Structure 1
Amino acid sequence: MNEHAHIVRSYDEEQAALLAELVRMGEMAVAQLEAALDVVERRDDKAAERIIGNDEAIDALEQQVNADVIRLIRRGPLATDLRIILAALRVASDIERIGDYAANIAKRSMALNLSPPLPHTRGLDALGRLAARQVREVMAAYVARDGQAALRVRERDAELDTLYTGLFRELLTYMMEDPRAITPCTHLLFMAKNLERIGDHATNIAENVWFLVHGEELMPPRDKRDDSSTTVV
């Protein structure tokens, strides 16, 4: 094998390692999110503490991705390779934020456990399961470099926004009817917003998949249905 072929093979191997790290990050973030939703239902403080502690592993992987990206950039990548590297950096940042939101949901579940159970946690679980599915599907699109699959994930963010807005209104109404519910419902409102933001980060990843596949070609405009800021009860 000549020197040029060896360099190309080494570069390809480094890109493959970078992709593997991002896939692992995505799997960890979704697992964190699903575990956080589970502890909300089970009211399990010890499990919540473990989820909060596990967030450090996702942060460590993001730092590794950043280090790998810097090393690849120093190799003087071509334009196509630079797109791959730039998309990886952005995707890693979005996944890290998803992990943060999952940890925050677990943290708030501990505060929620100080109050009697509320039926609205079922609505939160439905919202969270949809957000987790969005993350799983967009990571699959990223691995496959499937721009159309990424576009479908991005379009379905409107469904998540609709669920979030409905839960937001329901919680506000409940708080007005029963002042004793204000504290636990406030925690649920923040948790629901975290899930809505996870959907936004899945959308960001979808847009980076599109950038990876199509370059600077613009994506179609998307539907946005988060009406919580204009909700009047």
Structure 2
Amino acid sequence: MKKSLYILGITTTMLLAGCGDTAEENNREVTTQQDTAKEDNNSSNAEKAEQKQKVEEKAVGTRSNPLPFGDTITVTDYIYDDNSNSYKSLLEITALEMIRGEEAWTIIHKENEFNEAAPEGYEYALVKVKGLLKESETEDDSLYFSSMNFDFVSNEGEVYDMVSVVIPNELDKELYSGGSGEGYITGLVRVGDDFKISYESSEGSPVFFFVQ
């Protein structure tokens, strides 16, 4: 029931988001790997503010400017309870690892010998992603964070079909406020394709990630 309401809520929110005049991607908070290093070295507030301004101007996380691999982006999502009440939540997402080709197939085949090999011209890709529900208006309901939220998108802009294979540690997490989880998502992509992954959030526009 929660999943059905959640999907309905996402559809409604996306339709409303399409009517706005401001690009919502500009409001997403991005933490780069360089930012993390700076914070560890106690960088000044002025440096952080300047870096944040540059990130906002570039609208990181769009298809034309995907989030760099290893960086973290904060997106707005909504949790829906059994009464269709919505609760604004902030979700941090990071792409941690990418495995493709023969190495990916070895892992997939080892997990289940009945998994089918990739057809000619294609290869499997495994991407490990992490999510942290760092803030939410509710402590009592959870956000479903899974491989179903992600797409594999070719360099030419084609959304690859979802594949049905058994993989180790597949991303399938239920997160309450403050909770985190990670796991693998998988796709069947053209050999050598410079593909991206995208996350469908409740705020409208998908978030795109470089994976290498």
TM-score, length-normalised on structure 2?
A: 0.27
TM-score, length-normalised on structure 1?
A: 0.25
Normalized per residue, the structure richer in strand is 2
Normalized per residue, the structure richer in helix is 1
Larger Rg computed on CA atoms: 1
